Amino acid sequence: MNKKWLLLTCLSMLFLQQLTFADYITLYEWRSEPEIIADGVTSQHIQRFTNGGWLNMNLVNVDLTAGAEMTVVTDDYLSERDTLSTLVAQSDEASEIVAAINSDFFDTANNTTMGTLIKDGEVLSTSVGYNEFASFNIAKNGLPFVGYINTPNNTFSNGKTTMKISYINKPYLNYDRTILFNNNWSTVSYGNSIGQDIAEMLVVNDVVKEMRLNGPAFTIPENGYVLASVGTDVSQLLNSFKIGDTIAIHYDVNFNAIDLTIGGGAQILENGTIPTTFSQNISGNNPRTALGIDRDRKKIIMLTVDGRTTSYRGVTQTELAQLLLEFGAYEGINLDGGGSTEMLVKTPWETAANIVNRPSDGAERKMYTGLAVIKNTVTTPVLKQIKIDMASDAVLLGEKLTLKLMGIDENYDMTAIDPAEVKWTVSGLAGTLEDDRFAPTATGVASIQAAYKGFTAQKTVHVYDNGVKIVVEPSVLKLDAGQQKQMQFYIQTADGEKVATSPEALTLVLPDNLGAFDMAMSTFTAGTDGQQGYMTVGFNDLITYVPIGNGTDKALIADFETATGTFLSYPEAVTGKYAELNFPKTGDLGGMLTYDFTTTTDTRAAYMKFNEPIMLPSNTESIGMWAYGDYGNDHWLRGKIIDANGAATNITFARHIDWTGWKYLTADLPDELAAPFTLERIYVVETDVTKQDEGTVVIDDVYAVVGQTITASIPENVTKQKQIADYKIEDGLTKAFTAAYLTQATEPVAELAAASGIVKAAGNGFSAEVKNGIWVMTLNNGGGSIRANDYTQWTKFIQKVTQIESRPVVLMMRDSEIFNDSLEGTLLYRQLGTLVDKGLDVTVLYPTNDDYSVNIKSGIRILNLPNSVEQLNAYTFAVRDKALAFEIVQ
């Protein structure tokens, strides 16, 4: 069986036909098996391919009746924020947390969350009071619910006078208010730092200890708090309260019944129904985080949906609600989303919680709160399960594979395994097991078994001995002096499998002046600038050469000394302007981009669009530029590029414009897209609904950062890979059909092809027919997408693939290697891999501007067919013992 698809056997394809779901149609879906991460807690990954793109979903289900509990995680002080990973790691319950999601919306300008926060029955913070924000709550009787608790009636009294507490631990000291601050907020109060009259009363152990008008800040003790009054509340506090008074806090009646509350956005599911309008309408397809409750209020559903990438589309609030319904929710709430969307999961086989979704910022966003799941534990846990851990499930004949046995206990924590008590056995093929290392002596599939204290575990290993070439990633090294790069080494087999190989199994030769290679870390460190040459990598009688060029150059592509760009915005409500002005990093002018993000809470962007898009040199590795950050207000500075196939993607210069003065920034270009690239625009963007402001960013001197053009002579690789000229149809075989790419052919060539009965290799859509014993299929992925041309191609193709049980297959398309959405390309080969798993011979044929060539990828043969206007280029196919034979038409 093909190894790549064997790894996916735990995934089940659920949809082979069009299914309408919300605003999209499902074309294909796979789900991981739900993994138990604690008693009553499971984690699952779901990918759904739709006519609008991919939904990448992560799901955690919590059964509250099995002992799992929910908790809130925060920084040490509510006025501070950090990444969700850090909030979980520094929590008192860190060792017992098995999952967490981001939760409340927040106001970064004032360092606070928008909603109420209650943990273990203690009111840590009250809502800002906006009615559109709902909250997730767990009552003291253990029942979860979604509700709106935004204007609570909290008061304090000395027995004679009662005053309202406007907020608890919220920084809004304006108007006529009294706010309670305790050491959950900070170590000190505000004091005379707010620019207006403020009265502060220090209460320790429920007794007033000191009162100050416009005095210095109080240190807030653990057993006390400060009541701070502004506006008309100042005189009332000073006239009605005195030192020595006993103070009683009276919480809102709703708070008395609640054990946990975390803020969120709109309630998107109520009594199993989606509201016709939402209290908070965050429009568009976006990354989302949601939380659902089942009808019996015994289960919690935590859901993240990724977005804002070339593959992941995101969802609307309505679609999010429909997903919660699908996954069993009866009540649900939309939590903060966008770049904040994040889920952490700690599997039993890990020591810490890890990010399982794809944050749209490319990294974790700092936040104030998170919602976490605490597992149920027992005091004296015993061994529950074992599993075999291996670096790879494939090994080359002659190498040894290290085996390790892992175990978890009843608390789903890893537990020590005594290697002396492990009994290893191997079946399926010959080999030896010595010191926990498997050394195969034959090729094929081996089954490794481990027995330990009454438990057993098994793993499958593929052993190969048909290596045809060495593959090194990256295949070319262009680095600055002293820069490091991780390297990976593989041996490619005759059927296209890539078997990972340790550097120790290879012969590596590297001239001293080019740099150094660390065998233990598998990293290359570049030597002196300007040096060129190559690394020699050998394995048995295979050799490959890795070109090396140390040092990079910068090519100035925009200096803003003349009219450079125009202003655009999204949405139309965003205003601003772009102009060149006398404020440069160098020269006379810089490019000033101003914006006003105060008019809407939607995702907002202000663009400087180049008058003429800038074509980058083909060897550009990154884009650099200078930016003045004083008035950037912590927004996101990005660029938009277009690749050679017209695919657009966004690159990040800085996730936060949080510096002063000029700063040099770089943005890497994506490896998965095709060079050369065009730089179309540079822009400021904000996704946080609470960050509404105006500002200015100045940019200057944009550079294309290019690696050296390597002129050093590089030897030819030594491989055993079969060349295109070696493929022939033997005499006596009946030729089934001939295929050519004729879209750009001259009339005489087209007429010649028609007269010869030649099949055109790329059609306008999906087709499938049997030609003399061969299944011939076509797909149209012109422009880098099958889906965008006609999404019904996918349902027809997948259905046909499931039906084919015999005969070899030839798939003809425009380019099977270039996809705007890399996951769509992966899906294509996943489907073709199911045919390989049936033992069928599969070939993909597509046109190229280069010469004829053949490659093997996971058992699938890939043929390139030169696209020529002036001459007829074609392949002829025949059947040889249920396999394909082919040759170039001479």
- What local confidence, expressed as pLDDT, does residue 865 receive? 85
Report helix, strand and coil shares of the chain as percent, to nearest 5: 10, 45, 45
Residues 585 and 662 grouped into a single domain: yes
- What local confidence, expressed as pLDDT, does residue 377 receive? 95
> Is the link from the previous residue into 171 a cis peptide, with omega within 30 of 0?
no
The Cα diameter of the chain in Å comes to 110
Model pLDDT for residues 200-255, shown as the tens digit of each residue = 999 999 999 999 999 999 999 999 999 999 999 999 999 999 999 999 999 999 89
Q: Which of 162-171, 188-197, 481-490 has the lowest mean pLDDT?
A: 481-490
Q: Is the pLDDT of residue 799 over 70?
A: yes
- 18 in a domain, yes or no? no
- What local confidence, expressed as pLDDT, does residue 207 receive? 98
- 10 in a domain, yes or no? no
Give me the residues paired with residue 501 across strands: 489
Model pLDDT for residues 536-589, shown as the tens digit of each residue = 999 999 999 999 998 888 899 999 999 999 999 988 889 999 999 999 999 999
Q: Is the pLDDT of residue 172 over 60?
A: yes
Q: Is the pLDDT of residue 744 over 70?
A: no
DSSP state of 742: -
Model pLDDT for residues 753-772, shown as the tens digit of each residue = 555 556 655 557 899 999 89
Q: Is the pLDDT of residue 519 over 60?
A: yes
- Phi then psi for 521, rounded to 5 degrees? -95, -10
d(CA 532, CA 873): 39
Residue 541 domain boundaries: 470-549
- What local confidence, expressed as pLDDT, does residue 22 receive? 56
- Closest alpha carbon to 620 in 638, 644, 597: 644
Model pLDDT for residues 607-631, shown as the tens digit of each residue = 999 999 999 988 888 899 999 998 9
Give me the sheet containing 565-570, strands edge to edge: 565-570, 604-615, 678-686, 636-642, 648-654
How many degrees, rounded to 5, is the angle at CA 509 between CA 508 and CA 512? Answer: 130
- Closest alpha carbon to 262 in 152, 376, 111, 105: 105
- Closest alpha carbon to 723 in 836, 812, 851: 851
- Closest alpha carbon to 854 in 325, 846, 404, 617: 846
In this prediction, residue 749 has a pLDDT band, given cuts at 50, 70 and 90, of: low
Residues 515 and 610 grouped into a single domain: no
Q: End of a domain among 353, 374, 395?
A: 374
Is the pLDDT higher at 502 or at 361? 502
Residues 856 and 734 grouped into a single domain: yes
- What local confidence, expressed as pLDDT, does residue 748 receive? 52
Write the CA distances from 745 to 740, 869, 889, integer angstroms. 10, 4, 16
Which structure tokens are listed for 69? 């509990």
* Helices and strands in the chain, H and E counts: 8, 70
Residues 822 and 855 grouped into a single domain: yes
- Phi then psi for 796, rounded to 5 degrees? -70, -45
Residue 683 amino acid letter: Y
Residues 218 and 115 grouped into a single domain: no
- What local confidence, expressed as pLDDT, does residue 742 receive? 62
Residues 565 and 614 grouped into a single domain: yes
- Closest alpha carbon to 251 in 157, 152, 124, 169: 152
DSSP state of 573: T
- 713 in a domain, yes or no? no
Q: End of a domain among 534, 549, 564?
A: 549
Q: Is the pLDDT of residue 844 over 70?
A: yes
Give me the residues paired with residue 230 across strands: 177
Residues 240 and 283 grouped into a single domain: no
Scanning the structure block, which residue is given the tokens 């939309």? 334
d(CA 296, CA 727): 65
- What local confidence, expressed as pLDDT, does residue 686 receive? 86
Residues 366 and 394 grouped into a single domain: no
Instruction: Please give the average per-residue pLDDT across 424-440, as a whole number.
Output: 91
Q: Is the pLDDT of residue 700 over 50?
A: yes
Over pLDDT 70: what percentage of the chain? Answer: 94
- What local confidence, expressed as pLDDT, does residue 17 receive? 37
Residues 857 and 749 grouped into a single domain: yes
- CA dihedral sign, ordered 799, 800, 806, 810: negative
Model pLDDT for residues 319-335, shown as the tens digit of each residue = 999 999 999 999 999 99
d(CA 66, CA 374): 11
- 306 in a domain, yes or no? yes
| 3-class secondary structure, 86 | helix
Q: Is the pLDDT of residue 746 over 70?
A: no
Model pLDDT for residues 412-421, shown as the tens digit of each residue = 999 999 999 9
Instruction: Please give the average per-residue pLDDT across 144-170, as a whole number.
Output: 96
d(CA 830, CA 55): 18
What CATH code is carried by the domain that includes residue 795? 3.30.750.180
Question: How high does pLDDT run on average in the chain?
Answer: 90
- What local confidence, expressed as pLDDT, does residue 28 receive? 96
- 810 in a domain, yes or no? yes
In this prediction, residue 456 has a pLDDT band, given cuts at 50, 70 and 90, of: very high
278: Cβ–Cβ under 8 A, 6 or more apart, which residues? 266, 267, 268, 317, 334
How many degrees, rounded to 5, is the angle at CA 633 between CA 631 and CA 638? Answer: 95
Residues 131 and 268 grouped into a single domain: yes
- What local confidence, expressed as pLDDT, does residue 7 receive? 30
Q: Is the pLDDT of residue 672 over 70?
A: no
| Concatenated DSSP letters of 242-277 | -TT-B-EEE--TTGGGEEEEEE-S-EEEBTTB--SS
What CATH code is carried by the domain that includes residue 656? 2.60.120.200
- Closest alpha carbon to 815 in 674, 613, 634: 674
H or E stretch at 201: strand 199-204
What CATH code is carried by the domain that includes residue 439? 2.60.40.1080
Instruction: Please give the average per-residue pLDDT across 126-136, as a whole number.
Output: 95
Scanning the structure block, which residue is given the tokens 């302007």? 577
Model pLDDT for residues 1-27, shown as the tens digit of each residue = 333 332 333 333 333 334 445 578 999
- What local confidence, expressed as pLDDT, does residue 75 receive? 95
What CATH code is carried by the domain that includes residue 492? 2.60.40
Is the pLDDT higher at 183 or at 23? 183
- What local confidence, expressed as pLDDT, does residue 180 receive? 98
Instruction: Please give the average per-residue pLDDT across 843-855, as a whole number.
Output: 87
- 35 in a domain, yes or no? no
Residue 623 amino acid letter: I
Which structure tokens are listed for 653? 């210069």
d(CA 795, CA 801): 10
d(CA 567, CA 554): 27
Instruction: Please give the average per-residue pLDDT across 283-304, as a whole number.
Output: 96
Domain tally, the chain: 6
d(CA 415, CA 408): 5
- What local confidence, expressed as pLDDT, does residue 442 receive? 95
Residues 740 and 863 grouped into a single domain: yes
- 6 in a domain, yes or no? no
Residues 738 and 829 grouped into a single domain: yes
420: Cβ–Cβ under 8 A, 6 or more apart, which residues? none
Instruction: Please give the average per-residue pLDDT across 433-451, as a whole number.
Output: 93
d(CA 852, CA 766): 25
- What local confidence, expressed as pLDDT, does residue 1 receive? 34
Dihedral Cα 382, 387, 389, 392, nearest 10 deg: -170
Residue 574 amino acid letter: V
Burial class (CB in 10 A: 0-12, 13-18, 19+), 169: buried
- Phi then psi for 251, rounded to 5 degrees? -85, 155
Give me the residues paired with residue 492 across strands: 469, 498
Q: End of a domain among 676, 707, 738?
A: 707
- 34 in a domain, yes or no? no
- Phi then psi for 239, rounded to 5 degrees? -85, -20
